[in-house]
Amino acid sequence: MRNPVYTAIAIGVGLVVLIGYFLQFGLLINLRIALLEWATILVAVALLIGVINLSIVHWRKSTTDQPNRIYSIALISALGITLAVAGSFGPTHPYSLWIFNNIQIPIEGSLMAILAVVLIYAGIRLLRRKPDLLSIVFIATAVVILLMTGPLFGIDIPGLAELRIWIGKVPAVAGARGILLGVSLGIVAAGLRILMGADRPYGGD
């Protein structure tokens, strides 16, 4: 049995925010803004808890005999150094920015580069795993868009540029809008289930 107090708070706050979005009464607007500000503060606190959770997980890994513990030690050390530097000098100090520009950005950039290779490989694997019409259309569209996005050694294939524009303007936009309509209906349904207390992903007792 879930705690009814949590459910009452969730439904009450949800209703005030939702009604305040549609009905523009002074008191309701102020209440809605105040509740959203509280939520923003709580999310910021949760970010801190997320960092603590990450540290605990890797502290446990680094202190037990695990095959990849070296990575956990690296993470704990990097976190400690970054916290010490940004905490002492401030987040916009050149020392803090040096860490950001010379360590974080190159690492994330290399992961992005790996992603490009992974996606090419996934495209090939898709045709092997699901060799149906939908997969062929998916790959063919990706190839046409890629061909016309970068320079093709000065070669101009007649009709390809027009095809790319047509794909971008008609089927891609139509498909995306169709998917987004479905997603939007799903979002409203999920929100209403929470407001009705049918879904209670909180207060797990």
Partner 1 sequence: MNSLDLLGLAFVLGFFGLMIASTFVLRRRKERMLREIPAFTRLQRAIGLAVEAGSRLHISLGRGRLISTQSAIGYVGLSILDRIARSTSISDRPPIATSGEGTLGILSQDTQRGAAKYLGVEFDPMRGQVTGLSPYSYAAGTQSLIQEEDVGANLLIGSFGTEVALITEAAERSESMTLGGTDNITGQAVMFATAQEPLIGEETYAGGAYLGVGPMHIASLYAQDILRWVLIGLILIGAILKLLGVV
Q: Going residue by residue from 163 to 182, which x/- string records binding to partner 1, judged by CB under 8 A?
A: -------------x-xxxxx
How many H helices and E strands in the chain?
8, 0
Residues 9, 195: contact at Cβ < 8 Å? no
By CB under 8 A, residue 54 contacts partner 1:
yes
Amino acid at 60: R
Residues 35, 27: contact at Cβ < 8 Å? no
For partner 1, the binding residues in 34-53 under the rule CB under 8 A are 36, 39-40, 42-43, 45-51, 53
For the chain, give the number of residues. 205
Choice from 9, 90, 125, 162 touching partner 1 (CB under 8 A): 125
By CB under 8 A, residue 137 contacts partner 1:
no
Distance in angstroms (rounded) separating the CA atoms of residues 185 and 194 = 14
Nearest to 135 by CA among 147, 124, 145: 124
Q: Going residue by residue from 97 to 116, which x/- string records binding to partner 1, judged by CB under 8 A?
A: ----------xx--xx-xx-
Distance in angstroms (rounded) separating the CA atoms of residues 164 and 145 = 6
By CB under 8 A, residue 126 contacts partner 1:
yes
List contacts with partner 1 (CB under 8 A).
2, 18, 21-24, 36, 39-40, 42-43, 45-51, 53-54, 57, 60, 66-68, 71, 107-108, 111-112, 114-115, 118-119, 121-123, 125-126, 129, 138, 176, 178-183, 185-194, 196, 198-199, 201-205
